[in-house]
Amino acid sequence: QVFGAMGLTPDTPLAALWSWGRAMRFLDGPDEVHLRTVARDELGKARDQRGHTAAYFTL
């Protein structure tokens, strides 16, 4: 909408970039899968570091 009809014509690269961006949403996969992958990685790192900060919590 910002570019008006210029985003639809082949005169500028905007139409191709817009189409490719829309296609990448499908090619890249769902966000939930990526979030799950990142969460598993972070939880694994936290599990490996468990107990390393225990010295900071002594009274």
Provide the pLDDT for residue 10: 74
Q: Is 0.85 topped by the overall pTM?
A: no
Residue type, 40: R
Average pLDDT (14-39) is 81
Please indicate whether residue 3 or residue 32 has the higher confidence score (pLDDT): 32
- As a whole number, the mean pLDDT across the chain is 79
Q: What is the pLDDT of residue 2?
A: 63
Q: Which residue has the higher pLDDT, 12 or 3?
A: 12
Domain count, the chain: 1
Residue 38's domain comprises 4-57
